[in-house]
Structure 1
Amino acid sequence: MKIVNILVFSILVFCSLKTATSKELNIYSHRQPYLLQPFLDAYKNKTNIKLNVVYSSKGLAQRLASEGKNTPADLVLTVDIGRLYIYKDKDLLAKVNSKILNDNIPSHLRSKDGTWFGLSKRSRVIGIAKNEFLKGEVSTYEDLANPKFKGKVCSRPGSHVYNRALMASMIANNGYDKAFAWAKGLINNLAKRPQGNDRAQIKSIFSGECKIIIINHYYYGKLNYSDNDDHKKWANSIKIIFPNQSKNERGAHINISGGGVVKYSKRKKEAIKFLEFLVSEEAQKLYANVNYEYPINDKFERPMKLKKLGSFKEDKLYIEDIAKLAPKAQEIIDIVYW
């Protein structure tokens, strides 16, 4: 019965999207509902345009491809450049030329052909146990493979998109062979098998299971400002390190949340306007306040909660290269059993 109910719900959602008018937009979203809703509310209040959303963590690109010219979708919103690139690779996105998008999004965080656009930034950072290390002792991603940290590192599985993107960036910056050696060294330093999400890694330091972790920065923010006292204790047990910050270093690895206009959208102009809203000052503040994500452009002021993490230098690698290197990254991950 549960499966039947899900199928019926999906059919109803599909039918409702098919009837959308010019005063409506249909969005396929990989972002969780509670993260997206504040943006939908703000935009509706400004424009009175109704935003219909289908949420799913998997399968939306395949669905969009199967719908073809009959798709009701106007926009795709997702997290991680690897997921976003799938839509471009399948030729599912329209080419957009918007001065607002181009002026507000750095060139390395949007596609060269105008098919996809970064909308917010997240950094893959290192967390260390407080009072366990000398200043600068852990300062780069490469340090995670140093044999002196054997038995001290914890990580979620390497095949998760966040770690696969980091692995791809290691290949892009250091070459395949050095990236492979780094991954082997990392695995040799693990305190336990890769498991759990990023929150679980923070908890692992609190519980004493490990001393060094890899996480997306905003998970620290979520726990540090949580209403749950236990979560605050977990966050208080670690110190955040933005890696590779020295003068000749590349900077911390960056990933994005992003989006694009569907190739066969019937409301392309309206869809572009919504993307432009998402890079406005109002929306960029929402990204920071709702999920502790960094504005896509440094010209937008960061709220105090993000400022407290400190400023940092970010890797300016063209982010689509990370998506293109994802198969090679996964190859290494599989070989070393990350």
Structure 2
Amino acid sequence: MPYFRPIALALCAFALAVPVAAQEVNVYSYREPALIQPLMDGFTEQTGIAVNVAFLNKGMIERLRAEGRRSPADLVFTTDISRLHSVVSAGLTQPVTEAKLTDNIPAAYRDPGNHWFGLTVRARVIYASKARVKKGGVTSYEDLADPKWQGRICTRSGTHSYMLALTAAYLHHHGEANTLNWLKAVKANLARKPQGNDRAQVKAIWAGECDISLGNTYYMGQMLADPEQQDWASSVSIEFPVFEGAGTHVNVSGMAMTKFAPNRAEALALMAYLAAPAAQEVYASDNYEYPIAPGTQADPLVQSWGSFEADPVNLSTIAELRSEALLLTELADFDG
């Protein structure tokens, strides 16, 4: 044994010289860093686990594929169901079984196979001119096809992910033929060619170019926070339309664990932290969205816009219809 003692001592000295790896979680995020950093800081303060966020405005799937097993990413954060579904469909995530997630995230807002989990929701609503549309004037998405709206609707491109999600939901409820007819009828009611983002449609209402538009709820909060856009926001009211026999179309921001997460335990801890009611309320408030954990409350400003019953269909079902919705949108020449 004396022969081995120098080797053993050398190994002990080497071990003491190598610092213990710091606990950390690495996140690839489509969500703006300023919106999530306060929560990341709170998690680090509570657990001692550092959170490193890489903001990506595009190319997440390509980057994860290129990195493969070498990827440092543990979690991905995205801003809508189509992106969540795309990452899962690309085989870049892993299922997560954790009671703290399933207890706080209702089934409609998580993947049936537990690959993705929603954190906040936003509704796809009608922005209506206070001056030219009576309150309660738009009650359903089907109503947008009524000729009474001819020349009165503004919208962004029909191929944008937010619009495709709505069309996919319409397809789920009404089938292919009815959805194609609906798209053609809505196009016939447009005041102008689809263009711009959701806020640009509200600006057009303020300018008198149209009377109603489709948009996500959080844009109202963003416009009210911008002095240059407050007049636009003040010129409209929010209407919560529904699908006949269902509810209001919603979308989610959410998270998923990557397939090769190198810091799985730390990543799971962050997921559980974000799914907790307190964190959801903060996360939702920062972007004027709705938390989804049982017993949570939206920010008072968001509550002031009114209440709604969300369409109960699981959002994975909607995401799976996205390709067909795109085909129907192109067949209708919606943007033409």
What TM-score do you get using the length of structure 1 for normalisation? 0.90
Deviations 1:59-84 (A, max 9, x none): 11121122221111100110111110
Contact 1:22-1:267 at 8 Å conserved across structures:
no
Comparing 110-119 with 30-39, which one deviates more in the overlay? Answer: 30-39
1:147 Cα deviation from its structure 2 partner? 1.1
CA distance in 2, matches of 1:195, 1:36: 29
- Match runs of 1:13-92 below 5 Å: 21-92=21-92
- Match runs of 1:129-208 below 5 Å: 129-208=129-208
Identity %: 39
Describe the SS at the equivalent of 2:229: helix
Describe the SS at the equivalent of 1:132: coil
CA distance in 2, matches of 1:199, 1:46: 37
1:227 Cα deviation from its structure 2 partner? 4.7
Sort the Cα spacing of 1:73 and 1:59 in 2 relative to 1 into closer, same or farther, 3 A.
same
1:135 Cα deviation from its structure 2 partner? 4.3
Runs of 4+, deviation exceeding 6 Å? none
1:22 Cα deviation from its structure 2 partner? 4.8
- In the alignment, which of 257, 268, 272 is matched to residue 253 of structure 2? 257
Sort the Cα spacing of 1:148 and 1:68 in 2 relative to 1 into closer, same or farther, 3 A.
same
In structure 1, the residue matched to 2:236 is 238
Contact 2:131-2:235 at 8 Å conserved across structures:
no
CA distance in 2, matches of 1:78, 1:119: 10
Comparing 130-139 with 178-187, which one deviates more in the overlay? Answer: 130-139
Describe the SS at the equivalent of 1:274: helix
Sort the Cα spacing of 1:47 and 1:147 in 2 relative to 1 into closer, same or farther, 3 A.
same
CA distance in 2, matches of 1:151, 1:58: 35
Paired amino acid for 1:80:
D
Contact 1:125-1:215 at 8 Å conserved across structures:
yes
What TM-score do you get using the length of structure 2 for normalisation? 0.90
- In the alignment, which of 314, 317, 320 is matched to residue 318 of structure 1? 314
Describe the SS at the equivalent of 2:246: coil
Contact 1:121-1:256 at 8 Å conserved across structures:
yes
Describe the SS at the equivalent of 1:183: helix
CA distance in 1, matches of 2:287, 2:294: 17
Describe the SS at the equivalent of 1:63: helix
Comparing 58-67 with 207-216, which one deviates more in the overlay? Answer: 58-67
Describe the SS at the equivalent of 1:88: helix
Describe the SS at the equivalent of 1:320: helix
Contact 2:29-2:55 at 8 Å conserved across structures:
yes
In structure 1, the residue matched to 2:6 is none
CA distance in 1, matches of 2:270, 2:303: 28
CA distance in 2, matches of 1:29, 1:137: 38
Deviations 1:85-142 (A, max 9, x none): 1111111111110001000001111111111111110110011101323444311111
Contact 1:292-1:306 at 8 Å conserved across structures:
yes
**Residue 95 (1) aligns with residue 76 (2):** no
Q: Which consecutive residues of structure 2, in runs of 5 or more, have no partner in the other structure?
A: 1-19
- In the alignment, which of 247, 272, 279 is matched to residue 275 of structure 2? 279
CA distance in 2, matches of 1:179, 1:138: 19
Describe the SS at the equivalent of 2:313: coil
1:39 Cα deviation from its structure 2 partner? 1.9
Contact 2:289-2:298 at 8 Å conserved across structures:
no
Sort the Cα spacing of 1:123 and 1:213 in 2 relative to 1 into closer, same or farther, 3 A.
same
In structure 2, the residue matched to 1:295 is 291
CA distance in 1, matches of 2:306, 2:317: 27
CA distance in 1, matches of 2:34, 2:156: 24
Describe the SS at the equivalent of 1:209: coil
Q: Which consecutive residues of structure 1, in runs of 5 or more, have no partner in the other structure?
A: 1-19
In structure 1, the residue matched to 2:123 is 123
Sort the Cα spacing of 1:227 and 1:328 in 2 relative to 1 into closer, same or farther, 3 A.
closer
In structure 1, the residue matched to 2:4 is none
Describe the SS at the equivalent of 2:259: coil
Paired amino acid for 1:280:
A
Paired amino acid for 1:317:
V
Contact 2:104-2:294 at 8 Å conserved across structures:
no
Contact 1:288-1:306 at 8 Å conserved across structures:
no
